[in-house]
Amino acid sequence: MGEIFPAELGAEAKFMRFFQQFLFQVEIAECLAVLVTFRRQRVASNVVVTP
**The predicted structure's pLDDT at residue 35:** 72
- Could you report the per-residue pLDDT of 9-45, keeping only the tens digit for each? 677 777 888 888 887 887 887 777 777 777 666 665 6
Place 7 in a pLDDT band, splitting at 50, 70 and 90: low
**Which H, E and C letters describe 6-51, residue by residue?**
HHHHHHHHHHHHHHHHHHHHHHHHHHHHHHHHHHHHHHHHHCCCCC
CA distance 9 to 40: 47
Residues 32, 2: Cα–Cα separation, whole Å: 46
pLDDT value at residue 37: 76
Q: Model's pTM, two decimal places?
A: 0.39
Q: What is residue 3's predicted lDDT score, i.e. its pLDDT?
A: 73
